[in-house]
Amino acid sequence: MIIFALITLVLGQNETLFIQHPQELANNVGLQTIKFNIANFGFVPYGQRIAGMLEVASPFTFCQPEFNNSNNLSNDYSNVKVLLVQRGDCTFFIKTMNAQSYGYQMLVIVDNQDEEITGLNLVSLNETKEIDIPAIMISKKQGDLIKEYMDRNINERVYIVVKFPEMMKSEKVSYQYWFSAMDRSSYQFLEQFYPFHIEMRDQLEFTPHYAIDRCGICKKEDYKKPNQQCLSGGRYCASDPDADGPLTGQDAVREIVKQLCIFKQDQLKWWQYAVKYSNRCLTNTEILKCASEVMEQVNIDQKEVKSCYEKSFNNKNDELEDNELLSQQYQINLNFSAFSWPILYINDLKYKGALTVSTYTYNYETGAQQLFDTSHFGPLQTICRGFNEQYLPKICKQRMIGYIDDGIWIEHSLNSSTWVTWVIVLTTMILLMICTTFLYKRMYRKETNDQINQQVNIHLAQYYALNEQEKSMRK
């Protein structure tokens, strides 16, 4: 397992990387402020930092590593390793996966072009393998300065500290999630976070948002012609959910309006509907009938949803007339520059990192679920860090890495969680009890044997003395 050490609280709001040693490199004018961009995969330790020794990858692109990983694996608390690689030749995901498999706790990618890195989107292309370490990118200019120094000073150890963004603290945490109404994979975050939302719902403010687009050609035609992939004459569009199947983009946009109406009606029922709908209906050929059945099962007033749907369109004409709910949704998407999905914002900070974990089981019929390792469930960890200490929910105290109930922050490994800690403690106590019992038995047996031997020796001495006395009397 990958150990993620030297994680502590950070007071700064902005993500920064700085050189801790050697001073010659740390004092370089071009490295005084090193900004970085965080990848949209892996575990991102918001509000924390990683401090460790930096190594240069071989080859620098690290798509096909050349050295033996047995020499680089390290679980030593004092020897956290960070790898410096160059962008190019393979995906960010492959580079990070290679670094993780070689025992590194973080990857620093050097851009191979002179450009503004903050606008880049470091994505995983929906890879299925789990990544537990963060990956960040720094500019080409600053990355080249670091690498050139390390190439010139091969025997010099370079130590860096990476501070990740601190969440804004509040009594209630707000989070917003953008997803596609008919994309099964984008519901996975909702499914996994659902039980935690239910437990903390009085302290959370949640808002769903939906992926919608606008038809450029339709705008030139003043939105006066129907479009198979759009409603409102092309103002609001969605991708065809089943390609050559019976569904169209219109069906996807209609589902968005229905879900917005359900959310207005009852937020808890929206959650129940969304989870059941994604599991049952998005793999069902009769998706529209299935959606109606799910609404009935969770006691949603379908007449009220229908009325809300019709009223949201001017003159109740969904093919050509504008829609109030979709208009608001489209404007929100523009304000947040939400042009891709899924996207998660927590306390107005855009979340980076993996939205889901693979090691979980969930029964959407009963709601029973278990996340085996919530220390890897980044959204939960980040939402918990958004609470002020005095308002921290019980589930956060139980599941939050680095937190124990008396309010003391402790350093943890990436793969640790509360239950793992208790298992280790209990196991240690049991082993100590067994060892104590074993040693006590050995000491007790030794003492008993010594006493028996002593008594036997006394009786033998008395016997020999009497025997000698009898012999002397006979003489």
308 in helix, strand or coil?
A: helix
What DSSP element (H or E) covers 246? none
Q: Is 283 inside a domain boundary?
A: yes
Mean model confidence pLDDT for the chain: 81
Q: What is the pLDDT of residues 133-171, one digit of tens each?
A: 999 999 999 999 999 999 999 989 999 999 988 888 999
- Are 301 and 247 contained in the same domain? yes
Would residue 399 count as lying in a domain? Answer: no
- Asked if residue 175 has pLDDT above 70, the reply is yes
Domain assignment present for residue 464? The answer is: yes
Mean pLDDT of 431-439: 69
Contacts of 356 (CB under 8 A, 6+ apart): 188, 189, 192, 377
Domain boundary among 163, 194, 227: 163
Whether residue 59 has a cis bond before it, omega within 30° of 0: yes
Establish if 398 belongs to a structural domain.
no
The vertex-351 CA angle with 345 and 352, nearest 5°, equals: 155
Give the tens place of pLDDT for each residue, 13-29: 467 898 989 999 999 99
E-only strand ranges, 191-348: 204-210, 230-231, 236-237, 343-346
Of 271, 276, 307, the C-alpha closest to 292 is: 276
Instruction: Judge whether residue 70 has pLDDT over 80.
Output: no
Return the top range by mean pLDDT from 260-274, 343-357, 455-469. Answer: 260-274
3-state SS of 367-420? CCEEECCHHHCHHHHHHHCCECHHHCCHHHHHHCCCECCCCCECCCCCCCCHHH
Do 79 and 210 lie in a common domain?
A: no
Residues 143 and 218 in one domain: no
Q: Is residue 276 scored above 80 in pLDDT?
A: yes
CATH number, position 128 = 3.50.30.30
The model carries a pTM of 0.72
By residue range, what is the domain housing residue 92?
Answer: 16-163
pLDDT band at 281 (very low <50, low <70, confident <90, very high): very high
Q: What is the pLDDT of residue 428?
A: 61
381 conformational bin, left if phi > 0, alpha if psi -120 to 50, beta if neither: alpha
Look at residue 305 in the predicted model and tell me its pLDDT. 96
Is residue 173 within 8 Å of 145, Cβ to Cβ? no
Instruction: Kindly report, residue by residue over 71-113, the tens digit of the pLDDT.
Output: 444 434 346 899 999 999 998 889 999 999 998 999 999 999 9
Give the angle 268-401-132 at the CA atoms, nearest 5°.
90
Mean pLDDT of the region 213-238: 93
Enter the tokens of residue 15: 């993500």
Using the predicted structure, report yes or no on whether residue 118 has a pLDDT greater than 80.
Answer: no
Whichever domain contains 352, its CATH number is: 3.40.30.10
Q: How far is CA 131 from CA 42, 121, 193, 198, 228, in A?
A: 5, 17, 19, 27, 40
275 vs 189: CA distance, rounded Å: 10
Q: What pLDDT shows up at residue 292?
A: 95
Q: Are residues 313 and 185 in the same domain?
A: yes
Question: If pLDDT is split at 50, 70 and 90, which confidence band does 49 have?
Answer: confident
Euclidean distance between CA atoms 241 and 432, whole angstroms: 59
Supply the DSSP symbol for 351.
-
Q: What is the pLDDT of residue 266?
A: 96
Co-location of 355 and 449 in the same domain: no
- The two tokens of residue 227 are 């479009």
Residues 218 and 155 in one domain: no
pLDDT at 229: 93
Among 216, 241, 215, residue whose Cα is nearest residue 230: 215
Does residue 473 belong to any structural domain of this protein? yes
- Which of 163, 193, 228 is where one domain is finished? 163
Q: Which of 336, 362, 388 is the last residue of a domain?
A: 362
Query: In this predicted structure, what is the pLDDT of residue 160?
Result: 93
Are 100 and 188 part of one and the same domain? no
Top-confidence residue, 390 or 416: 390
Confidence of residue 456 (pLDDT cuts 50, 70, 90): low
- Please tell me whether residues 120 and 213 are part of one structural domain: no
Q: Which two tokens stand for residue 200?
A: 């903390």
Query: Stretch 256-265: mean pLDDT, rounded?
Result: 96
Between residues 394 and 365, which one has the greater pLDDT? Answer: 394
Beta strands in 62-203 (DSSP E): 81-86, 106-110, 135-138, 158-163, 173-179
Q: From the CB of residue 81, how many other CB atoms can be counted at a distance below 10 Å?
A: 18
Name which residue leads in pLDDT, 67 or 349.
Answer: 349
Q: Do 345 and 424 fall within a single domain?
A: no
Q: What angle do CA 439, 445, 451 make, to 5 degrees?
A: 135
Specify whether 28 is located in the same domain as 140: yes
pLDDT at 11 over 60: no
In-domain check, residue 278: yes
Q: How many domains does the chain have?
A: 3
Contact (Cβ atoms closer than 8 angstroms) between residue 291 and residue 277: yes
Query: Residue 65 to residues 53, 60, 130, 376: CA-CA distances in angstroms?
Result: 19, 9, 19, 26
313 shares a domain with 183:
yes
User: DSSP letter string over 130-165?
Assistant: ---S-EEEE-HHHHHHHHHHHHH-TT--EEEEEEPP
Of 34-38, 155-159, 461-465, give the lowest mean pLDDT range.
461-465
Using a pLDDT cut of 90, give the percent of the chain over it.
50
> What is the per-residue pLDDT across 353-372, written as a single tens digit (0 to 9) for each?
889 887 666 555 555 455 55
| Cis peptide upstream of residue 65 (ω within 30 degrees of 0) | no
The answer to whether position 443 is within a domain reads yes
The answer on 150 and 55 residing in a single domain is yes
**Reading across the β-sheet that carries 349-350, which strands appear in turn?**
204-210, 173-179, 343-346, 349-350
Residue 393 domain flag: no
